[in-house]
C-alpha cells in the first residue's frame, strides 16, 4: 500500500502563458517520468495533448500526471490559466493539498494572476511561489517580489535568490543553506560558493527570511528576540512549519523551458509541502444523521472521495475522475451518496497525460479515474454505504455568453444535440436551453473562445459541425390600454357554412400577471360548448403576437357577448373568431414591446471604471451601485439584453483583458418608442425570409 506520508497532491496555478505546463513538463522530465522535455510551443507536451490545446498553445482543461522523487509520490495537476477555462482551475484547487503558483519574472502580476490567486487562497492551499522565466529579457526578480507582496494574498518568503538574469541566469543562492547552486545545460545543479557580488544581498535576504520564520512560532520569536539569530535547524524547522500551514509561501526561481532550477523545486515540494494526512480533515455531512463529520486522510478510515471532473469519449465512454479524501478503494464497488445508489467498477486508473495506468487501489491524496459509471457525474460524493458522507460540490462558473446553435445539415440536428449533451457531462459551465419565444436552441458558455473550442471538440469527437449565431432577443408584447372588439367569422362555401360571432374586452394586467380569460356570457348568446374554443383561439393568437410575432403577456381577456348560427356555428368557427377578435383588440389597446433586462455585475481595476461606465451608458444601462473587492471595483447595473449580446469581447477590449462579469435575467420592461419600429421591421424581414 502507498504510504500516505510520502504522497503530495500538488496543483500548478498561474495566469495564462506564465509557464505552468512547461514547468510541469520539466518536473516530469527531471524526475525521470518522461524521456524527453515536452514543449508547449512545438506540440510535444504530454499534458497539453488535445488538438485544441496543441493548436492554441494553451491549456484548455486540467491535465494529470504523477512522478516519484526521492521516495515520494507526487500527484500533479496542471491547470488552465485562460479566463475561458478557469472552471477546471477552481475545481483543481478544491481537491489539491498544495499549490505551485507561477509568476513571470518578465510580466509580473497581472489582473488574471490576482483572480487565480484568489482561488488558491479560498481553498487555503499551502503554496510555493515559482518565479519563472528568469532567463528571458526584462526578467526582474526584485520587482516581481514587490508586486506579489502588494497584490497577491500570499506572504512570500524568499528562499532562493537568482544568480544573474536574462541570458546570464545561471543559478541560485539557497538562503536556508547559504549555499549557491549552479545549473548546467541539462538542468543538473552543482554546489558552489556564493558569488562575492551577491554576498551582502544574500545576507540581507537571509535576515529577512529569519524574521519571517520567527514570526510564525511563539518559541522561535522569543529565541530570535533574545539571541538575534536562529540556528540553521530552527530556520529549517520553522520554515517547514510555516510553509505546511500556509502562513509562509517559499519563493523559488527558475526557467521552466530550459529546465533550470527544477531539481530544487522537487526537493522543496517533498520537504515543505504537506502530505494528505497533514492537512485538516475534510468536512462533510453524514447522510444518515445530517450532522457535520470529519474524514481524516487515513487509509484505515471509511472510504470517501469527490468527483471533480468527467471526460466524455465516443469510444471509451465516460471517464470519471475523483480525489480520494479518506480510506482505501480497491477494484470493487462504491456507494454514490449524491445519487443514493451503488456503482460497480472494474479497474482504477491513474491519469498520465492522455494515457491511463491501471492501479490496484487508491488511498488518500490520490487522483484516480474509473470508466463507464452509470449514474455518477461531476460533484458527486463516493463513499461506503455503511458510512455515507456528502461533500459539498463546487458551483460551476456561470456562463456569460450565449449563442444560437444550429447545424448546416438538417439531418445532423439530432446528432448535434446528442453530441452537445455528451460535452455537457464533462463541461459543467456549458448550458443548453430552448428559447420558446424565439424558437432557437441556445448554448451558453464562459466566453467566445470557450464555445469555439466546444464546437471543435464536437466536430473532432462526434463528426458533426456546430454553427453559432448571435441569439434573437426574446421580446414580448403587451398592451397599455383597454379595448372592446367584435370578432366575427362568416364564410359560405356551399352546404354548411362557418359562422361565429364573439365580443372580447381586453385590458392590461400588472407586469408578471400572465394571462387571464373570463367568461361573461349570459343568456346563452354563445352555447357553452363553444366558449373553450374562443379561449383556444385567443391563446393561439397570444403565442403569435400582434405587432411582431412575439408572444403577448400580462393581459386579461373577457368574452362578453356574441351570437351563433344553429347550423353553421362550430368549435372551429369560434376558435377563428376568438383569434381574429383578440388580434384586433390588441392593436386598439395601445400595444407595446417589452424587452428583457439583465442584472450584470462587472469586476474591473479602478482605472477602468470611467470607461466601463461610459460604455454602459451608451448601452442604455442603469448603474444600480458600486462596491470594492480588494483592488477591484464592482459595478452593479441593469442593461437591456439586446445591448450586451456580445459584451464579453467588448469588455475585454475596454479593460485590456482585466475585466470580468456575471449576468442573470432580471425582468421585462417597455422598449423605448424610438426602437419599436426597428424591432418590428427586423421581425417582418425574418418572417418574409422564411416565406
- Mean pLDDT calculated for residue range 205-214: 93
Q: What is the CATH number of the domain that holds 310?
A: 2.40.30.10
Residue 208 lies in a domain: no
258-276 core/surface letters (b: 16 or more CB in 10 A; e: else):
bbbbbbbbbbbbbbbbbbb
The C-alpha cell of 567 is what?
347550423
pLDDT at 388 (0 to 100): 95
pLDDT at 566 (0 to 100): 87
Q: For residue 204, give Cα distances in angstroms to 212, 224, 408, 436, 606.
A: 13, 16, 67, 68, 35
Backbone dihedral angles phi then psi of residue 677, each to the nearest 5 degrees: -60, -35
- Rg, C-alpha atoms of the chain: 32
Whether the CB-CB separation of 160 and 198 falls below 8 Å is answered with no
Q: What confidence tens digit (pLDDT) does each residue in 443-473 have?
A: 999 988 899 999 999 999 889 999 999 899 9
CA-CA-CA-CA torsion sign (277, 281, 282, 285)? positive
Bridge-partner residues for 402, per DSSP? 444
Check pLDDT > 60 for residue 529: yes
Q: What is the CATH number of the domain that holds 556?
A: 3.30.230.10
Q: What is the CATH number of the domain that holds 261?
A: 3.40.50.300
Whether the CB-CB separation of 127 and 99 falls below 8 Å is answered with yes
CA-CA-CA-CA torsion sign (444, 447, 452, 454)? negative
Residues 28 and 124 grouped into a single domain? yes
Residue 202 lies in a domain: no
Residue 533 lies in a domain: yes
Lowest mean pLDDT among 221-235, 282-296, 671-685: 221-235
Residues 287 and 253 grouped into a single domain? no
Residue 211 lies in a domain: no
Which of 469, 485, 514 delimits the end of a domain?
469
**Number of Cβ atoms within 10 Å of the Cβ of 115:** 18
Q: What is the CATH number of the domain that holds 604?
A: 3.30.70.240
Q: How far apart are CA 267 and CA 433, in angstroms?
A: 50
Residues 299 and 375 grouped into a single domain? yes
Give how many domains the chain has, as a whole number: 5
Band of residue 495 on the pLDDT scale cut at 50, 70, 90: low
Whether the CB-CB separation of 345 and 362 falls below 8 Å is answered with no
Residues 271 and 300 grouped into a single domain? no
For residue 596, the number of C-alpha atoms closer than 13 Å in the C-beta half-sphere is 19
Whether the CB-CB separation of 640 and 619 falls below 8 Å is answered with yes
Residues 180 and 83 grouped into a single domain? yes
Q: What confidence tens digit (pLDDT) does each residue in 499-523 have?
A: 999 999 999 999 889 999 999 999 8
Lowest mean pLDDT among 132-136, 211-215, 216-220, 351-355: 216-220
Question: In sequence order, what E strands does 282-328 have?
Answer: 282-286, 292-295, 304-313, 317-326
Residue 646 lies in a domain: yes
For residue 167, the number of C-alpha atoms closer than 13 Å in the C-beta half-sphere is 0
Q: How far apart are CA 45 and CA 53, in angstroms?
A: 10
pLDDT at 135 (0 to 100): 95
Residues 406 and 481 grouped into a single domain? no
Residues 551 and 667 grouped into a single domain? no
pLDDT at 691 (0 to 100): 52
Lowest mean pLDDT among 80-84, 237-241, 389-393, 438-442: 438-442
pLDDT at 448 (0 to 100): 86
Q: What confidence tens digit (pLDDT) does each residue in 130-162 have?
A: 999 999 999 999 999 999 999 899 999 999 999
Which of 278, 300, 323 delimits the end of a domain?
278
Q: How far apart are CA 25 and CA 47, in angstroms?
A: 8
- Mean pLDDT calculated for residue range 187-208: 94
Residues 137 and 11 grouped into a single domain? yes
Which residues, at least 6 apart from 284, have a Cβ–Cβ distance to it below 8 Å?
Answer: 292, 293, 295, 304, 381, 389, 390, 391, 392
Which residues, at least 6 apart from 223, have a Cβ–Cβ distance to it below 8 Å?
Answer: 214, 230, 234
Helices 199-214/232-245 angle, 10° precision: 60
The C-alpha cell of 430 is what?
456549458
**Hey, is 113 helix, strand or coil?**
helix
Residue 196 lies in a domain: no
Query: Could you list the residue range(s) of the whole structural domain that residue 418 is in?
Result: 401-469
Residues 462 and 520 grouped into a single domain? no
Residue 205 lies in a domain: no
Residue 223 lies in a domain: no
pLDDT at 317 (0 to 100): 76
**Number of Cβ atoms within 10 Å of the Cβ of 226:** 8
The C-alpha cell of 179 is what?
549555499
Residues 162 and 253 grouped into a single domain? yes
Residues 185 and 334 grouped into a single domain? no
Which of 469, 485, 512 delimits the end of a domain?
469
Residues 54 and 95 grouped into a single domain? yes
Q: How far apart are CA 539 and CA 160, in angstroms?
A: 74
Whether the CB-CB separation of 363 and 403 falls below 8 Å is answered with no
Amino acid at each position: 500500500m502507498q504510504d500516505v506520508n510520502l504522497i503530495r497532491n500538488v496543483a500548478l496555478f498561474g495566469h495564462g502563458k506564465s509557464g505552468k505546463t512547461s514547468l510541469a513538463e520539466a518536473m516530469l522530465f527531471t524526475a525521470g517520468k518522461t524521456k524527453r522535455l515536452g514543449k508547449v510551443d512545438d506540440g510535444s507536451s504530454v499534458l497539453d495533448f488535445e488538438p485544441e490545446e496543441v493548436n492554441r498553445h494553451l491549456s484548455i482543461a486540467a491535465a494529470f500526471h504523477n512522478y516519484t522523487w526521492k521516495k515520494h509520490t507526487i500527484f500533479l495537476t496542471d491547470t488552465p490559466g485562460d479566463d475561458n477555462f478557469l472552471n477546471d482551475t477552481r475545481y483543481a484547487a478544491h481537491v489539491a493539498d498544495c499549490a505551485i503558483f507561477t509568476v513571470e519574472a518578465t510580466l509580473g502580476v497581472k489582473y488574471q494572476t490576482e483572480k487565480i490567486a484568489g482561488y488558491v487562497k479560498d481553498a487555503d492551499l499551502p503554496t510555493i511561489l515559482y518565479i519563472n522565466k528568469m532567463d528571458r529579457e526584462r526578467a526582474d526578480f526584485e520587482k516581481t517580489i514587490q508586486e506579489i507582496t502588494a497584490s497577491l494574498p500570499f506572504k512570500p518568503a524568499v528562499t532562493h535568490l537568482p544568480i544573474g538574469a536574462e541570458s546570464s541566469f545561471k543559478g541560485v543562492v539557497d538562503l536556508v543553506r547559504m549555499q549557491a547552486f549552479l545549473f548546467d545545460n541539462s538542468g543538473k545543479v552543482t554546489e558552489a560558493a556564493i558569488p562575492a557580488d551577491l554576498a551582502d544581498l544574500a545576507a540581507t535576504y537571509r535576515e529577512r527570511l529569519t524574521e519571517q520564520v520567527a514570526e510564525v512560532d511563539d518559541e522561535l520569536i522569543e529565541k530570535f528576540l533574545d539571541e538575534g539569530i536562529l540556528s540553521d535547524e530552527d530556520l529549517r524547522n520553522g520554515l517547514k512549519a510555516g510553509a505546511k500551514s500556509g502562513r509562509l509561501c517559499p519563493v523559488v526561481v527558475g526557467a521552466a523551458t530550459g529546465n533550470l532550477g527544477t531539481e530544487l523545486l522537487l526537493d522543496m515540494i517533498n520537504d515543505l509541502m504537506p502530505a494528505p494526512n497533514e492537512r485538516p480533515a475534510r468536512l462533510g455531512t453524514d447522510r444518515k444523521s445530517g450532522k457535520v463529520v470529519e474524514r481524516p486522510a487515513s487509509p484505515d478510515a471509511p472510504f470517501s472521495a469527490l468527483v471533480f471532473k468527467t471526460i466524455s469519449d465516443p469510444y471509451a465512454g465516460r471517464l470519471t475522475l475523483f480525489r480520494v479524501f479518506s480510506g482505501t478503494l480497491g477494484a470493487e464497488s462504491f456507494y454514490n451518496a449524491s445519487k443514493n445508489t451503488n456503482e460497480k467498477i472494474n479497474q482504477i486508473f491513474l491519469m498520465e497525460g492522455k494515457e491511463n495506468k491501471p492501479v490496484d487501489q487508491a488511498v488518500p491524496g490520490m487522483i484516480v479515474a474509473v470508466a463507464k459509471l452509470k449514474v455518477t457525474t461531476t460533484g458527486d460524493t463516493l463513499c461506503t454505504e455503511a458510512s455515507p458522507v456528502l461533500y459539498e460540490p463546487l458551483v460551476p462558473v456561470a456562463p456569460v455568453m450565449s449563442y444560437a446553435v444550429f447545424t448546416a445539415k438538417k439531418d445532423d440536428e439530432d446528432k448535434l444535440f446528442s453530441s452537445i449533451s455528451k460535452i455537457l457531462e464533462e463541461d459543467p459551465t456549458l448550458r443548453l436551453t430552448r428559447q420558446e419565444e424565439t424558437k432557437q436552441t441556445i448554448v451558453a458558455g464562459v466566453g467566445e473562445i470557450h464555445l469555439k473550442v466546444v464546437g471543435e471538440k464536437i466536430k473532432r469527437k462526434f463528426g458533426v459541425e456546430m454553427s453559432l449565431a448571435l441569439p434573437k432577443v426574446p421580446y414580448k408584447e403587451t398592451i397599455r390600454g383597454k379595448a372592446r372588439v367584435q370578432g366575427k367569422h362568416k364564410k359560405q362555401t356551399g352546404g354548411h357554412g362557418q359562422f361565429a360571432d364573439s365580443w372580447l374586452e381586453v385590458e392590461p394586467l400588472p407586469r408578471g400577471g400572465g394571462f387571464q380569460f373570463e367568461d361573461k356570457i349570459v343568456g346563452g348568446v354563445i352555447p357553452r360548448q363553444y366558449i373553450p374554443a374562443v379561449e383556444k383561439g385567443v391563446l393561439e393568437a397570444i403565442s403569435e403576437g400582434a405587432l411582431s410575432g412575439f408572444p403577448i403577456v400580462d393581459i386579461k381577456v373577457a368574452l362578453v357577448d356574441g351570437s351563433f348560427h344553429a347550423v353553421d356555428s362550430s368549435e372551429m368557427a369560434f376558435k377563428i373568431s376568438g383569434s381574429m377578435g383578440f388580434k384586433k383588440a390588441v392593436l386598439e389597446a395601445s400595444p407595446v414591446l417589452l424587452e428583457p433586462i439583465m442584472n450584470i455585475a462587472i469586476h474591473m481595476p479602478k482605472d477602468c471604471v470611467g470607461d466601463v461606465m461610459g460604455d454602459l451608458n451608451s448601452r442604455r444601462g442603469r448603474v444600480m451601485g458600486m462596491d470594492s473587492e480588494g483592488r477591484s471595483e464592482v459595478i452593479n447595473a441593469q442593461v437591456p439584453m439586446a445591448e450586451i449580446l456580445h459584451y464579453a469581447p467588448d469588455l475585454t477590449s475596454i479593460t485590456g483583458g482585466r475585466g470580468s462579469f456575471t449576468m442573470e435575467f432580471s425582468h421585462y420592461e417597455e422598449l423605448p418608442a424610438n426602437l419599436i419600429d426597428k424591432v418590428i421591421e427586423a421581425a417582418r424581414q425574418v418572417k418574409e425570409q422564411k416565406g
